[in-house]
Amino acid sequence: MTSAQMDDLIVIENLDFAHSYGAHQVYKGLSLRIPRGKITAIMGPSGIGKTTLLRLIGGQLKPQRGTIEFAGYNIPELSRSHLYEQRKRMSMLFQSGALFTDMSVYDNIAFPLREHSKLSEEIIETIVLMKLEAVGLRGARHLMPAELSGGMARRAALARAIALDPELIMYDEPFAGQDPISMGVIVKLIKSLNNSLGLTSVVVTHDVAEVLTIADKVVIIADKKVVAEGSPEELKNSDDPLIHQFLSGEADGPVPFHYRAPSLAEEILGAQQGESHAG
């Protein structure tokens, strides 16, 4: 690896974010770098706003403070048309796949090509078939999304996500709700696509074992900021109790088992002082 390839595609500095509804702060002072051409895994307990992070990078949400630079452009400050320009360079695999239910698999994958390119139908067909071949669904091109299994839908959505040959692909919980075989297929696909297409991949997940086998860099988010980052080996060897808890999946630890609440004894006995938290 030369140093030119080692630079960062996404640089997040000092990010503060809270949803407009409710006062719940999602991020406070979060800083993060995602290296170009690598697979970065973003992990953390559920409910920590990992999907929110992807939406922030995609410009669908705006942070209250901080910068999100994608290839040198500060996403939150881009005008609408410039944002749409940059979005053509990234793509996102949604948790549900988000295939358009009123189109066949083929048309779903042809959709971004028809929208953004002036290619002829023959060329589009070639590209679509190549992408479908890459995810192993060339035979399923005439099916409707409702006829696909969950794993197949996600692979079809992956084919659509790479249709325009983006520089960045963001996976939102790609392994959630998959059987072991399709999970293995998706792990393999993420790895091979990343290597063959020279993509930068960001994988948001809490499936530790799967992602550690392919990730080049692991970022653990907890408590509104990055608590640990490094290569999988570095993290495995870390003796930080939180990292240890997360990687080995212990029920209780620095990340409490209980949702923030007054202790059970206080609640049952009706004690007035409700400030101390369980865990």
Is beta strand 73-74 parallel, antiparallel or unpaired with respect to 65-70? Answer: antiparallel
Q: How far is the CB of 256 from another protein (least distance, A)?
A: 27
Interface pick for another protein out of 77, 85, 121, 267 (rule CB under 8 A)? 85
Residue whose structure tokens are 């006995």: 269
Asked if 273 touches another protein (CB under 8 A), the answer is no
Asked if 244 touches another protein (CB under 8 A), the answer is no
Interface pick for another protein out of 40, 91, 178, 205 (rule CB under 8 A)? 91
- Backbone φ and ψ for 198, nearest 5 degrees, come out as 65, 35
Interface pick for another protein out of 101, 120, 196, 273 (rule CB under 8 A)? 101
Number of helical H runs and strand E runs in the chain: 10, 10
# binding residues, another protein (CB under 8 A): 22
| Residue 90 in tokens | 């990234």
Query: Within a 10 A sphere around the Cβ of 239, how many other Cβ atoms?
Result: 6
CB of 84 or CB of 257, closer to another protein: 84
CB of 176 or CB of 208, closer to another protein: 176
**d(Cα 272, Cα 263) in Å, to the nearest integer?**
12
Asked if 49 touches another protein (CB under 8 A), the answer is no
Q: How far is the CB of 255 from another protein (least distance, A)?
A: 26
CB of 30 or CB of 168, closer to another protein: 168
Per-residue DSSP letters for 177-191?
A: T--HHHHHHHHHHHH
What long-range pairs does 18-23 form, CB within 8 A, spacing at least 24? 18/64, 19/52
Q: How far is the CB of 137 from another protein (least distance, A)?
A: 18
Asked if 84 touches another protein (CB under 8 A), the answer is yes
- Cβ pair 225, 27 in contact under 8 A: yes
- Angstrom distances, CA of residue 211 to CA of 38, 127, 265: 13, 29, 40
Q: How far is the CB of 82 from another protein (least distance, A)?
A: 11
- Cβ pair 157, 94 in contact under 8 A: yes
CB of 99 or CB of 204, closer to another protein: 99
Asked if 90 touches another protein (CB under 8 A), the answer is yes
Binding site for another protein (CB under 8 A): 55, 58, 60, 84-85, 87-88, 90-92, 94-96, 98-101, 111-112, 115-116, 164
